[in-house]
Amino acid sequence: MEKIGLVAGAGSFPLLFAAEAKKAGREVFVVGLNDITPKEIEQYAVETRYFRLGNVGGPIDYLRDSGVKKVLMIGSIPHVNIFGGILPDMRAAKLLFKLRDKKAGAIFAAVEEEFARDGMEIVSSATLLEHLLVKPGLMAGKKPDQDTLKTASFGWKAAKTLSALDIGLTVVLRDQTVLAAEGMEGTDECIKRAGEILKKLGKGHPMTVVKVARPNQDMRFDLPVAGASTLRIMAGAGATTLVLEAGKTLILGMDEFLSAAKETGITVFGAENANSFQ
């Protein structure tokens, strides 16, 4: 039976993977993060060990000694922790010292190198979940009209620019005007903020939400995700269309997501590139 390691952050994504892995007959060894990883993950794991954020050597030793060769890193880590005085262990301190910058790409590359030194490979975070990747074209709701497609096309370019700068992955628009761009608060809070702005603007076309992957997205790290909760937040904020990047965005719970799309009447569209809106 294949062993697989899971470094689990917050949210439902790690739970979804762990459940699928157990169902597929994999032995899952979980690295949990204190006060971050959901405890429910233990029901799917052969073993779960918890470490404080900033401990790199302990998790690597644990997974290596468990016989793990492949590792996934999934789930969110609240940004407050990044600025909350993390106390790194010796291995993490050396890793941080070598970083060329503190952007996500540099951090992930350094972490990958540390795992490789101990004979472990970090693999795609869509492993065993390929069936939940967004497909190109209309996923739910009505076909977008020309005005919505023009707004979505503009939003795609704006979101790709922001993601290339490692700012955020999501923009919320009305009439080809960006109302809000995602920062550290995350997609859902960005949508809520746009909804407050929309209330002040008054009547007009409803909002469109565009969420993309980074240019040259590394499928092993920080994959864009969407779920039913985002659709319900969109409905409350006054957004009617959600555009997601096909092939690089995971839906967390496809059945619930499609049910929520039907319930809210929100259109969900999968785009492969800037030409998808023509």
Q: Which residues contact 102 (CB under 8 A, 6 or more apart)?
A: none
Q: Which residue has the tokens 């739970």?
A: 15
Q: Does residue 145 surpass a pLDDT of 70?
A: yes
Task: List, in sequence order, every beta strand (DSSP E) within 188-246.
Answer: 207-211, 225-227, 239-245
Q: Does residue 81 surpass a pLDDT of 50?
A: no
Q: Which helix (H) or strand (E) holds 49?
A: strand 47-51
Q: Does residue 86 surpass a pLDDT of 90?
A: no
The backbone torsions φ and ψ at residue 244, rounded to the nearest 5 degrees and listed phi first, read -125, 150
Secondary structure letter of residue 218 according to DSSP: -
pLDDT tens track for 249-264 = 999 999 999 999 999 9
Cα 143 from chain centroid (whole Å): 26
Given pLDDT bands bounded at 50, 70 and 90, which one contains residue 247?
very high
For residue 122, what pLDDT is reported?
A: 95
Q: Which domains does the chain have, with CATH numbers?
A: 3-122 (3.40.50.20), 130-277 (3.40.140.80)
For residue 172, what pLDDT is reported?
A: 98
Q: Does residue 83 surpass a pLDDT of 50?
A: no
Residues 8, 6: Cα–Cα separation, whole Å: 6
> pTM of this prediction?
0.88
Weakest-pLDDT range from 86-95, 104-113, 129-138: 86-95
Given pLDDT bands bounded at 50, 70 and 90, which one contains residue 222?
confident
Q: What is the mean pLDDT of residues 65-78?
A: 91
Q: What is the mean pLDDT of residues 227-240?
A: 96
Structure tokens at 237: 């904020």
pLDDT tens track for 163-183 = 998 889 999 999 999 999 998
Closest C-alpha to 246, from 165, 126, 73: 126
Task: Give how far Cα 143 sits from Cα of 65, 156, 169, 241, Å.
Answer: 52, 17, 23, 10
How high is the mean pLDDT of the chain? 90
Given pLDDT bands bounded at 50, 70 and 90, which one contains residue 95?
low
